[in-house]
Structure formats: C-alpha cells, structure tokens
Amino acid sequence: MKHLLLSAACVALLTGCATTSNTTPGPVPEAPKPIAQDTTPPAPAKPTAAEAKAYADDAEKQLAALSEAANHAQWARATYIIHDTEWLETKANAALTEATVKLALGAARFNDVEVDADTRRKLDLLRLSQVLPAADRPGAAEELAALTTKLDSTYSTGKFTYKQKTYNLTEASNVLATSRDPVTTRAMWEGWMGIARPMKSDYTKLIAAANTGSQGLGYKDTGALWRSGYDMAPDAFAAETDRLWGQIKPFYDNLHCFTRRKLNEKYGDMVQPKTGPIRADLLGNMWAQDWSNIYDVVAPKTIKSSYNFDKLLTNKKYTEVQMVKTGEAFYTSLGLKPLPQTFWERSQIVRPKDREVVCHASAWDVDNREDLRIKMCTQVNAEDFYTIHHELGHNYYQWAYMDQPYLFKNGANDGFHEAIGDFVGLSSVTPTYLNQIGLLDKVPAESEDIPFLLKMALQKVAFLPFGIMVDRWRWEAFSGQITEAEYNRRWWELINKYQGLMPPGERPASSFDPGAKYHVPASVPYTRYFLAHVLQFQFQQAACAQTGWKGPLHRCSIYGEKAVGERLQNMLEMGQSKPWPDALEAFTGTREMDAKAVLDYFAPLDAWLQEQNKGQTCGWQA
C-alpha cells in the first residue's frame, strides 16, 4: 500500500556511485607538480547527466525491491495483527525509509546538472515520495516505523465498553448509523473517541521525528513536504484548496441549515438547538463526514423515495463477494480487464472472525505490478457497495501504470488516486444502472431527483469541509503552531469553523479526538480526499460530455461506455510521469481543478434547498 510509507536510503548505493564516478580506467599520466604546495582538495568533478540518470535508475531498483518486501510485511500485519507481524512490518518499513532518505539526500548532488525531464522528475520525486521521512541517523527510521505501526494497531484494535457490552468500530458505527436515541449515539461516539487517548504522546513523538526527517530533506516541516507534492509551490497549493472550498461553501451552508432544522424538529431544542453548530453524534457517522445514514431524518415529507439502497442489496441476498464482482463488472463494462485470479485468492473481503485486522478499507498492489488486492471488512450495505467501487478504482489505476518506472507508479497526484473509483461510483449508484443490473425493478420518475440528490449531497457535500479540515489541523501540528496541550481544542475549533459541528458534551482534557480518525494514527494525508471530491465531478462531467449525454449530470451513467474507458485508461497509464494538469487535460480537456462541476451536479438540489431555507437563519458562529 504504497501511499502509507515510501521511505529509506542506501549506503551501498552511495558507495557504488562514488566508486563509479571516481574510477578512471587505465594508467593515469602523471600531472606536472605545482610549484607552490596547494592544500585545498580538488573540487569534485561535476556529475554528468548520464550519472544522474544511472543514479535514478539504480534508486528505482533498490526501492522497488524494498517496497515489495515492505508491502508483504504490511499486508501480513494489516490482516493479522500480532506482535510478530508488527515486528516484521517495523523492520521492513524502516529499511525502506532509511534507503529512501539516503537516496533523496544523495540526489542533491545532481541539483545543478542539466538532465532530461524524466530524470529530473524522478530525482524530485525521490525527495517527495515519503509521507514520514526519518532523520538520516542510525536507528531513526526504526523508531519512527515502530511508532507508526503501534499507532495503527492501537486504532485498528480499539474497543470500548458500554452497558456491559464491548464495541469495536464497526459495531459502534452500525449503532450510530441506525439509532435515533441521542443518549445512545452519544455513548457510541464518546466511547470511540476514548480509544484514541493513549495515542496522544506517541503522536507527538511521531510529529517531532518526521519533522526532523523532513527538515533534513530541506522542507520547513512535514506539512510543507506534504503540500509540495502537487507540481506547484506549497503555499500556492494551500491557497488552491481554499479557493475550491470557497466555491462550495455557500452550498454547504444551505445543506447544513436544512439538516440542522430537521434535526431540531426531530430531537428538540435540548438536543439540537435551532441555531449554532450541529451535534456531531446525530449525523449517523463517527466523524460526521458522511451524513447519508440519517436520510430518514432529513427526508422531504412531500417527495417520497421509492427505494432504499441498503434494502435492495439485502432483499436480493447479495453476498460480499458478489458485491465485489458487481464492482469489477462495472470496470470491465468500460473495456478494462477482469481482475487477476490472485485478486480473488489473496484479497480480504470480509472480516476474519479469529483475529485482529485493520478493517479500514484499502487497495494494494503488493508486487508493484499485478498482485492486486483489496482489504475490507465488507458489510452488505450501500456504503460498502460504494467503497468497493472506490477501492477497485485504486487497483485499476495501479494496474494501468504497472509498466511505468518505479518512481512514476503513482497517481497524477494523490487526489487523482482517490477520485477514480469515486468517479466510477457516481454512475454505479444511479437508479438507471441499478435497474440495468437487476437491483432495482423500476427506474423512479424524475420527481425523485430531489431525494436522490439529497442522499448524494449528504454523502458528498457533507464530506468536503471534513476533507479539508483534517490536514488543516495536521499542518498546524507539524508546523508547531499548536502543541500537544492544544491539539484537541484546535481540532474542535477547526471542526466548528469548517463543518459547523460541536461535540455532544465537553471533551475531557486528556482527549485526542483526531486519533479516532484512521488517517491520523495511520498518517495518511487527507487533503487527497478533498481534491477527489472535486475531481470526481470534473471527471464525471467530462465523461458524460464524451458520451454525448444531454440530460442532468446526476442522471448520467457511463456504464458500458467503452470510449470513456479507453480515454480513462490512457490517463491512468500515465501514472505520475507528468505533472497532474497534463493528466487532467488528457481526460477532461482542462488543466484546472474547478468545483463548478460539483455545483452543476447538485444545481437542482441547491435551488430546492434555498426554497426550503427561506425565512431560516442559517450559518453558525465560527
């Protein structure tokens, strides 16, 4: 799972390079002796472009081998958490980190060498490829790797007890999704937040360790490193995300306003006041990043929805594997290949009963070629139906760029990697498609567009402020703007600012609520999902235009559209070989990210929400 850790460097390589560049074959004619004794050592010869290219090639060879070993160890630990797999993963990750750091540092000697564009990009990517670089000192990579493994395992095995029953995340989330009793939702929510408390001091150590590594590579801090991976200056990237959020915010405010009113009507002023932020545990999801589980609470009274997606799946007795097969069939309908046989043999599709695993869904390319797998604890419901399409998007991307050189085997940027499966997923939930595959007997009339769009907005639009908030917090933690004592307070300030939410009660001083979200202990950068929630609508708009679709964007399905598949495949095959605007242009014809596509998709809903919100005082005090 390459996005988690790509690290480390190699002493052997540096020695090798030094040897190569200093060796002159044959007898060396003696140079005339200078008369005066000069004690300054001769300046090293400027490396050549050929040496730079050889360096990058060799780095790729070393990293490919180390990353494959790390992937196997990571898979073993993620699907079987015990002391020994943690040990193995730590060693393998440390070896990769150590080698990557050394290679990235060694690449600096080619800074002033004029090299071909591919080599330059590879040398730059060497420095950028790590999420958490370690310091270049013996033991540093292993200390950092031990912290990351421990934090991830603490999260993944987290449990709490309520009324004599023990809950893991899946169980607590299921209660939160379905319970409409605010005492129960609060208990589930507070119980889960509590599992993160023990992570706090390790997380502080992780920040310090990764910052030392990032500074060694020439970045201000790890946040600056993360912001540097977008083919533009890090500050320009931060401003770009602000710009995109600014495009969406007025629409989000309308959705927030409508949802708050419905929650107030249901629960009363004591639970959900008419004004101010929304109580986070009432939104049907542990992090309030997806509100679609409370569709029943916000559903318009006058327009009925004729189907419930969860029930369609259970009524037709879908199995977890059948859901994955259905996902695969969408991709093959676009002309992409069926997944390799080993995918079915090696994936973890359901939660094993007999051991601890990392349940957070992920997609893997273990040998960096065709050993594709997903790891999920799939449940038969609409959310996981969508997640399957999301994960397979990662796998098809990985497969498409498998012939790229190692350092180009990645998404155009990390937002692209997250957006592909979501883009395909947008078609997979249209009533037209559900009808085509026999899940839905009758395509609903156009009058049901508002319920459909409202469900989609509760999932996609509610996500956007969360998607931008998480790394706003992490950037501040990495830069030292906030200290351990301020972590939790600031987390809630930012949630209030972006999402307009509040916790159900005061948070204990020892809390570390950011740690209750997988990507924080697992150190997966999160801005990628914010970008993906913009990009997927741009992809959808472009793809539908390619098919000649003239109707409203939300009703378009690209199922079976081979020409779209071919164009998609072309973009995917580029991997990270070119700056992301080139990839975006290849598929959409534009070089800019633009949230206008989100607004176009939801335009009928926004108009409807504005009508519903008339006379209401919207917004909250940030």
**Interface with ligand X8Z (CB under 6 A):** 289, 361-362, 387, 390, 529
Residue 362 binds what, of ligand X8Z, Zn ion, none (CB under 5 to 8 Å, by partner type)? ligand X8Z
Alpha carbon 484 to chain centroid, angstroms: 25
CB of 465 to ligand X8Z, least distance (A): 13
- Report the Cα 493 to chain-centroid distance in Å: 23
What secondary structure letter does DSSP report for 564? H
- For ligand X8Z, the closer of residues 420 and 543 by Cβ is 420
Q: Do 223 and 475 form a contact (C-beta atoms < 8 A)?
A: yes
Smaller CB separation from Zn ion, 251 or 463? 463
Q: Which is nearer to ligand X8Z, 122 or 360 (CB)?
A: 360
Contacted by 361, from ligand X8Z, Zn ion, none: CB < 5 to 8 Å by type: ligand X8Z
Of the pair 212, 289, the CB lying nearest ligand X8Z is at 289
Supply the minimum distance, in Å, between the C-beta of residue 393 and Zn ion: 8
- 227 versus 390: smaller Cβ distance to ligand X8Z: 390
Q: Distance of CA 272 to CAs 261, 264, 277, 480, 609, Å?
A: 9, 5, 9, 35, 20
**In 3-state terms, what secondary structure has residue 508?**
coil
Is the separation of the CB atoms in 549 and 374 below 8 Å? no
Nearer to ligand X8Z, 106 or 411 (CB): 411
387 interacts with, out of ligand X8Z, Zn ion, none, CB within 5 to 8 A per kind: ligand X8Z
Locate tokens 């009432």: which residue?
282
User: Which one of Zn ion, ligand X8Z, none is in contact with 529 (Cβ closer than 5 to 8 A by kind)?
Assistant: ligand X8Z
Asked whether the beta carbons of 334 and 565 are under 8 A apart, the reply is: yes
CB of 555 to ligand X8Z, least distance (A): 23
CB 119 within 8 A of CB 175: no
Min separation Cβ 533 and ligand X8Z, Å: 8
Residue with the closest Cβ to Zn ion? 418
Residue 102: closest CA among 209, 21, 9, 232: 9
Selection from 385, 381, 384 nearest residue 310 by Cα: 381
Q: Give min distance, CB of 417 to Zn ion, in A.
A: 7
Q: Choose from ligand X8Z, Zn ion, none: what does 254 bind? Cβ within 5-8 Å by kind.
A: none
Beta bridge partners of 165: 162
Query: Which residue, 127 or 390, is less far from ligand X8Z as judged by CB?
Result: 390
Give me the least distance between CB of 163 and ligand X8Z, in Å please.
Answer: 28
The total of other beta-carbon atoms located within 10 Å of residue 24's CB is: 7
Residue (209 or 388) nearer to ligand X8Z, CB: 388
Tell which residue, 62, 100, 64, 92, has the closest CA to residue 76: 92
Q: Measure CA 327 to chain center.
A: 20
DSSP 259-321: HHHHHHHHH-TTTS-SSSPEEGGGSSSTTSS--GGGHHHH--SSS--S--HHHHHHHTT--HH
Tell me which stretch binds Zn ion (CB under 5 A): 147-155, 276-284, 411-419, 541-549: 411-419
How far apart are CB 391 and ligand X8Z at their closest, in Å? 7
Q: Which is nearer to Zn ion, 127 or 519 (CB)?
A: 519
CB of 358 to ligand X8Z, least distance (A): 11
- Smallest distance, ligand X8Z to C-beta of residue 467, A: 7
Give whichever of 281 and 418 is closer to Zn ion, judged by the CB atom: 418
Binding mask 414-433 for Zn ion (x = CB under 5 A): ----x---------------
Of the pair 149, 527, the CB lying nearest ligand X8Z is at 527
- Whole-number Å distance between alpha carbons of 53 and 60: 11
Q: Which is nearer to Zn ion, 86 or 418 (CB)?
A: 418
Q: Mask of contacts with Zn ion, 363-402, x by CB under 5 A?
A: ----------------------------------------
Between CA 172 and CA 537 the distance in angstroms is: 31
Q: What are phi and psi of 291, to 5 degrees?
A: -100, 10
86: how many CB neighbours lie within 10 A of its CB? 19
**Is 174 or 547 the residue whose CB approaches ligand X8Z more closely?**
174
For residue 534, count CB atoms less than 10 angstroms from its CB and return exposed for 0-12, middle for 13-18, buried for 19 or more.
buried
Strand partners, 279: 502
Helix axes 49-78, 117-128, angle to 10 degrees: 40
- Secondary structure of residue 502 in the 3-state scheme: strand
Residue 557's binding partner out of Zn ion, ligand X8Z, none, with CB under 5 to 8 Å set by partner kind: none
Q: How far is CA 399 from CA 69, 368, 402, 411, 517, in A?
A: 19, 8, 5, 11, 29
Residue number with CB closer to ligand X8Z (141 or 532) = 532
From the list ligand X8Z, Zn ion, none, which binds 156 (C-beta under 5 to 8 Å, kind-based)?
A: none
Amino acid making up residue 530: F
Residue 418 C-beta: closest distance to Zn ion, Å? 5
> Measured between alpha carbons, how far is 191 from 176 in angstroms, rounded to an integer?
11
- From the CB of 409, what's the least distance to Zn ion, in Å? 16
Taking the complex as a whole, the smallest distance from the CB of residue 362 to ligand X8Z amounts, in Å, to 6
Which letter does DSSP use for residue 348 in this model?
B
Least Cβ distance, residue 474 to Zn ion (angstroms): 18
* CA atoms of 142 and 135, how far apart (whole Å): 10
Quick one: three-class SS letters along 163-209? Answer: CCEEECHHHHHHHHHHCCCHHHHHHHHHHHHHCCHHHHHHHHHHHHH
Instruction: Using the minimum distance from each CB to ligand X8Z, give the nearer residue, 516 or 553.
Output: 516
Residue 289 CB, nearest approach to ligand X8Z (Å): 6
Applying CB under 5 A, which part among 287-295, 413-421, 422-430, 561-569 lies near Zn ion? 413-421
- Smallest separation (angstroms) from ligand X8Z to the CB of 529: 4
Q: How far apart are the first and last CA of the chain?
A: 37
Chain contacts with Zn ion (rule: CB under 5 A): 418
